[in-house]
Amino acid sequence: MFKPALAAVLVASCCSVYADDIEHISIYANRTATAQQDVLASVTVLEHDDIVARQASDLPALLAQLPGINLSRDGGRGQTSGVYIRGGNVGHTLVLIDGVRSGSATLGYKSLAMLPLELIQRIEVVRGPRAAWYGSDALAGVIAITTRRSNAVELNVNIGSYGQAGTDLSVSQHVEQLTLRASAGVSRADGFNVRKELDSDSDGYKQKFIKVAADYQTELGLWTAQADVNSGYYEFDTSYGNEDAADTFNRTYLLGWQQQLGRWQHQAQLSRNLDSEASYGPDSRSPFITARDEFNYQAQTSLSTSLTLLAGVNWYQEKVDRSSTPYEKTSRINRALFTGLHYQLNALKLEAALRRDLINQYGGQNTWQLAAGYQLTEQWLLRASRGTAFKTPSFNELYYPGYANPALKPQESVSDEIALRFVEQDFSAQLAWFDRDVTNLIQGVERAENVLLATISGVEFSVQQQWQQFSSNLAYTWLDTENKSSGLKLERRPKNTLNWRGSIVEDKWSAFVTVDYQSSTYQGMYASVANLGGFTLWGIGADYQLTPALTLRAKLENLFDKNYQTSAGYTTAGANVGISLRYSPG
């Protein structure tokens, strides 16, 4: 049965989420609101208070603190960052922003380096395939982001090392059935020189964003409209050509609707996403502008007290609107049907999902997901799952001159997971084993090629503990990857990763310590250094409530000024300080 408290929640990939009203709820794992401990998948949810408390410098740095995620950086904040979930490629993760499929059609993925952390209200990370619900790209996992939905006035200002400075403001207004919200912000940094052997300048960034949204409740349902605009500029160093700066411009527009009609809950969303990036130098400029129009509809009902059905349709068209080089083809359309069942009887839980995608370039793709869980005791849950996934090649991989390979096949995978979870009031832990076989994996430097087979397996262990005012979060991942054609490891995937965060919360202040460890990584046969050494980074931070409305926060990252790299040849930030002030009158 549907709970009335969820009637105001625009869930799954159809509408945005009222994250302030729910705690520890997974929205995207099964396209419906489900208590996190009841989801038969590995899910991490960060609400706004969690995000703020961690004081991460940017979104990639925040994600790198979570289980099963590795990060490679081509410099500092603003420069290209690669996020790898459970050993998958960067493009093996689907990024949803307010339920909208996001990313560049030419690159084949969403660049997260220039997505403002200040704009984010909630993050949900689903580790493991979700193509049976979302189609292409959800091969290794899903990162679902909900943008700011503040119910009060909030003003933030921050300064830090390397010339970092920024400010953002969120406001809202309620008028009977109408709710209006707006957020805006700017930030910048001088940065540091990310490749000293190429030039002597610092590589910084500038950014500004604005979001406006309206929700209107009527007898015909809850309607929402939203517009986001995010523009930026960043500098970089590269040995290819003389272009060393880029402008970015991203816009998203959406209309959403949801309504409860009898036993059926209906949701629909229409969206348009434009992704633009133009790199340039003294004598050249290379613009790439892609657009994606998308429509989602889903309906859900309870067939019995034990059985729930969800079904829907998904349509989207991707276009290369403008590029510095001509592409043989500039658009494609994806149409899909999906359905899923959830069954629960006493201690047994069963889930199944099936999706059929029709891509005008490749024809039909079928994906499925099966999961079973058994509640051994009130605290212990044993679960197992298997699922298939695929990713269509990007426009660059298929048509970019000099690199393209029109004969590329979609990447496909079969994934298994077995996990044991323990949950009680102040303590939770999970041990998960996962295994994935990827066929037709796309690799290559000079030309994109399908690799016959790549294998990825690993173990995740995570523990969250609360004892009075103390808390501790530990995440460890062991990863083993192999390109079966060459016998080499997959690039930039460390075998061992460990993240720990300990904190104390008192009446008016709190403090934390972080430790992040990563073992050595293989960088590839064409990298300047084939293997990078492992490293351990320490960080500390604190906040103090000056008044009920005013909070001061400070952090020190890379406490011992460790000299390390996650991408061969690219310098990373040394010891650096950040200070922020938050004003929220309630």
Residue 2 — very low, low, confident or very high, per pLDDT cuts 50/70/90? very low
Q: Token digits for 266? A: 């209906």
pLDDT tens-digit readout, 248-264? 999 999 999 999 999 99
The answer to whether 498 touches 479, Cβ cutoff 8 Å, is: no
Q: How far apart are CA 166 and CA 129, in angstroms?
A: 36
More confident residue, 22 or 49: 49
Q: How far apart are CA 36 and CA 47, in angstroms?
A: 13
Determine the average pLDDT of the residues in 194-220. Answer: 93
Residue where the block lists tokens 């590995």: 42
Residue 9 — very low, low, confident or very high, per pLDDT cuts 50/70/90? very low
Q: How far apart are CA 69 and CA 80, in angstroms?
A: 16
User: Which domain range does residue 83 map to?
Assistant: 4-583
Determine the average pLDDT of the residues in 449-475. Answer: 94
Q: What angle do CA 269, 270, 275 make, to 5 degrees?
A: 120
CB neighbours (10 Å) of residue 197?
A: 9
pLDDT tens-digit readout, 525-564? 878 888 999 999 999 999 999 999 999 999 999 999 999 9
Lowest pLDDT segment from 346-360, 439-453, 454-468: 439-453
The domain that holds 140 is classified in CATH as 2.40.170.20
The answer to whether 568 touches 529, Cβ cutoff 8 Å, is: yes
pLDDT tens-digit readout, 23-72? 578 999 999 999 888 899 999 999 999 999 999 999 999 999 999 999 99
Residue 7 confidence (pLDDT) above 60: no
Q: Token digits for 42? A: 């590995």
Residue 12 confidence (pLDDT) above 90: no
Sign of the CA dihedral running 372, 376, 379, 382: negative
For the chain, give the mean pLDDT: 92
pLDDT at residue 14, rounded to an integer: 41
pLDDT at residue 325, rounded to an integer: 84
Query: Is 303 in a helix, a strand, or coil?
Result: coil
Please state whether beta strands 550-557 and 470-483 pair in parallel, antiparallel, or not at all (unpaired). unpaired
State which of 195-199, 278-282, 467-471 shows the largest mean pLDDT.
467-471
In three-state form (DSSP H/G/I as H, E/B as E, the rest C), the secondary structure along 381-409 is EEEEEEEEEEECCCHHHHHCCCCCCCCCC
Residue 223 — very low, low, confident or very high, per pLDDT cuts 50/70/90? very high
pLDDT at residue 52, rounded to an integer: 94
pLDDT at residue 23, rounded to an integer: 55
Residue 10 confidence (pLDDT) above 70: no
* Residue 408 backbone dihedrals phi, psi, to 5 degrees: -60, 145
DSSP 533: P
Give the chain's domain count: 1
pLDDT at residue 506, rounded to an integer: 95
Q: How far apart are CA 581 and CA 553, in angstroms?
A: 6
pLDDT tens-digit readout, 351-365? 999 999 999 878 899
Of 284, 452, 383, the C-alpha closest to 29 is: 383
